[in-house]
Amino acid sequence: MKKKYFTPAELVLFIGSLALIVAAFCIWDRQNYLSLIASLIGVTSLIFCAKGNPIGQVLIIVFAVFYGIISWKVAYYGEVITYLGMTAPMAVWALVAWLRNPYQGKRSEVKVDCLRARDYLLITAATVAVTVAFYFILQACGTANLIPSTVSVATSFFAVCLTARRSPYFALAYAANDSVLIVLWSMMAAEDVSCLSVVICFVVFLINDGYGFFNWMRMRRRQQQSQQTSEN
């Protein structure tokens, strides 16, 4: 009997995530269907990314475009620049990296990599440089809530770099980014209650990224054990 691709727990997580996003939209928004579509695409990307499937990266590119448009409407220019100018192009880089490194030739699962301390230091240094540069760019653009927007740039850049390098810790970096965005959109929700649907969206993303980290660590152990067995 062929093994199903998604486990029962993953299906519960995915369906529950979709239900929460739709419910939040129906309660607090009911108008901005672009936000609803973006949220549904985003959470779908996360379940595939949690499995190490390149389809997740394709959906992240689509989500980045939608989210950039949504952010433009509320003057979150930091998010616009981050997602359209950085996240989307770097997601293309991540997609190429994942397609070039399939696990045992299977395109549905990427080979997990183990980075060295030097790799993390280089990524951290690049993140600091990009964050400092973006702070002044966002300040010049008159970005709303400058500090949270700048922190969002840092966590997003760090996360995308780890994603392209196929490190399980990319999910934790995205979870940190989700936390920043929850704060950012909560500030906007204080003025416009419809933004609560976006807050709920990133809460759902946070939960999914937590699962993503758990599953990638499990994938890494399984792949390492398989390699050791084949070598013996």
DSSP, residue by residue, 147-165: HHHHHHHHHHHHHHHHHHT
Please determine, for residue 1, whether its predicted confidence score (pLDDT) is greater than 60: no
Percent of the chain scored above 70 by pLDDT?
Answer: 97
Between CA 169 and CA 32 the distance in angstroms is 33
DSSP string, 52-68: T-THHHHHHHHHHHHHH
Please determine, for residue 29, whether its predicted confidence score (pLDDT) is greater than 90: no
Specify the pLDDT at position 140: 86
User: Rg (Cα) of the chain, in Å, rounded?
Assistant: 18
Residue 157 tokens read as 């850049």
pLDDT band per the 50, 70, 90 thresholds, residue 102? very high
Between residues 39 and 144, the one the model is more confident about: 39
| Nearby residues of 149 by Cβ (< 8 Å), 6 or more positions away | 76, 77, 78, 79, 82, 138, 143, 184
Specify the pLDDT at position 95: 93
Q: How far apart are the first and last CA of the chain?
A: 28
Between CA 180 and CA 202 the distance in angstroms is 9
Q: Which helix (H) or strand (E) holds 48?
A: helix 33-50
Least Cα distance to 63 among 26, 91, 33 occurs for 91
pTM of the model: 0.90
Specify the pLDDT at position 203: 96
Please determine, for residue 104, whether its predicted confidence score (pLDDT) is greater than 90: no
Between CA 38 and CA 197 the distance in angstroms is 12
Residue 140 tokens read as 């010049």
Least Cα distance to 43 among 26, 56, 53 occurs for 56
Cβ-contact 75, 144 below 8 angstroms = yes
pLDDT band per the 50, 70, 90 thresholds, residue 184? confident
Give residue-wise pLDDT tens across range 150-161. Answer: 898 899 899 999
Least Cα distance to 165 among 123, 125, 104 occurs for 123
